[in-house]
């Protein structure tokens, strides 16, 4: 039986708050940002001069900004690939019939409850070249003490590890839920057919998990571009030599340190277009590989 509203006006009244909030805090600011990207600004945006596409041309011809884009792509790829691989491996272990399973899951979910700032502080101490426990064990077993903060490629690895750890619980919940929804009969049939553990994982488990994995790829991609400002700001501030200066942090520096609102708006539009383009590309590339049961 289909329920109906008592009047024709009530649905619009209930829908109105969502529309008002979306317009005021999403669509209107986005539209203003797009307009601002075509202006040169001064005095924190109070003085504006229309310059057309000049901001975009300057941005795309800036070697520093192109380096920022490259760093962002490497950073995002590391977060997505290593984050999902770690989550899948851990979920496969936790999904086994073991004692205290719920306690293990709860402990593994704790990093996601922390703020990015706190996660950055914790791992900054762990990676400290002089007092960090990571260098202590590296020196103990291998006789090396890397300078995680002073060397560009090591600093990038450091922030990738921190970001993966911070978002680990989010990925784990979805992968674990997907594993628990896979029918046991399917895996038992594959085992009876002589499929090895690796073949069961590659040809049965992962295809059945493909909708969840596809969702997590998109969400991790968005998170790596938009949700990691706090970690970068606490740990490296884009240093050394802009080796960890991802696009969202460069946008912040342009807007609030260099007070170039027009250029920052341009970078905001570029960042949005890049993430939207990568997401659509991911949709097209994986559409034929995602398996939905019952479809």
Residues 193-223: pLDDT tens digits?
Answer: 888 888 888 888 888 898 899 889 999 999 9
Residue scoring higher pLDDT (204 or 237): 237
**Domain assignment of residue 163, yes or no:** yes
Instruction: Please give the backbone phi and psi of residue 190, each rounded to the nearest 5 degrees, phi first.
Output: -65, -40
User: CA–CA separation, 28 vs 32, rounded Å?
Assistant: 6
**Domain assignment of residue 63, yes or no:** yes
- Residue 279 is predicted with a pLDDT of 82
- Residue 259 is predicted with a pLDDT of 87
Domain containing residue 281: CATH number:
1.10.3720.10
- Residue 295 is predicted with a pLDDT of 42
User: CA–CA separation, 238 vs 244, rounded Å?
Assistant: 4
The boundaries of the domain holding residue 229 are 55-289
User: CA–CA separation, 162 vs 155, rounded Å?
Assistant: 11
- What is the average pLDDT score of the chain? 88
Q: pLDDT tens, 75-121?
A: 999 999 999 999 999 998 888 766 777 788 888 888 999 999 999 99
SS3 51: coil
- Residue 43 is predicted with a pLDDT of 64
**Domain assignment of residue 8, yes or no:** no
- Residue 103 is predicted with a pLDDT of 83
**Domain assignment of residue 41, yes or no:** no
In total, how many domains does the chain have?
A: 1
Residue 160, Cβ neighbours under 10 Å: how many? 23
Residue scoring higher pLDDT (156 or 12): 156
Q: pLDDT tens, 56-68?
A: 999 999 999 999 9
**Domain assignment of residue 38, yes or no:** no
- Dihedral angle, C-alpha 102, 105, 110, 111, nearest 10 °: 180
Cβ neighbours of residue 270 under 8 Å, at least 6 residues apart?
56, 59, 247
Give the pTM: 0.89
**Domain assignment of residue 121, yes or no:** yes
Q: pLDDT tens, 26-62?
A: 899 989 999 999 998 876 667 788 998 999 999 999 9
**Domain assignment of residue 182, yes or no:** yes
**Domain assignment of residue 143, yes or no:** yes
């Amino acid at each position: 039986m289909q329920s109906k509203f008592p009047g024709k006006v009530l649905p619009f009244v209930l829908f109105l708050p969502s529309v008002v909030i979306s317009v005021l805090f999403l669509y209107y600011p986005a539209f203003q940002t797009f307009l601002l990207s075509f202006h040169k600004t001064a005095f924190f945006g109070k003085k504006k001069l229309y310059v057309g596409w000049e901001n975009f041309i300057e941005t795309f011809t800036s070697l520093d900004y192109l380096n920022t884009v490259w760093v962002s792509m490497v950073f995002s790829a590391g977060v997505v690939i290593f984050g999902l691989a770690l989550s899948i491996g851990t979920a496969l272990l936790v999904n086994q019939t073991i004692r205290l399973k719920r306690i293990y899951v709860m402990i593994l979910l704790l990093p996601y409850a922390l703020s990015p700032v706190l996660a950055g502080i914790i791992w900054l101490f762990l990676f400290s070249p002089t007092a960090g426990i990571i260098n202590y064990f590296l020196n103990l077993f291998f006789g090396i003490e890397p300078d995680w903060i002073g060397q560009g490629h090591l600093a990038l690895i450091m922030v990738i590890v921190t970001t993966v750890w911070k978002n680990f619980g989010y990925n784990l919940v979805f992968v674990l839920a997907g594993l628990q929804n896979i029918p046991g009969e399917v895996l038992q049939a594959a085992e009876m057919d002589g499929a090895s553990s690796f073949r069961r994982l590659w040809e049965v488990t992962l295809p059945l998990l493909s909708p969840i994995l596809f969702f997590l790829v998109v969400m991790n991609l968005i998170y790596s571009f938009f949700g990691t400002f706090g970690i970068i700001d606490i740990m490296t501030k884009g240093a050394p030599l802009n080796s960890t200066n991802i696009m969202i942090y460069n946008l912040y520096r342009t807007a609030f340190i260099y007070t170039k609102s027009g250029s920052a708006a341009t970078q905001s539009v570029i960042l949005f277009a890049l993430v939207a383009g990568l997401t659509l590309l991911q949709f097209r590339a994986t559409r034929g590989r995602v398996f939905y049961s019952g479809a």
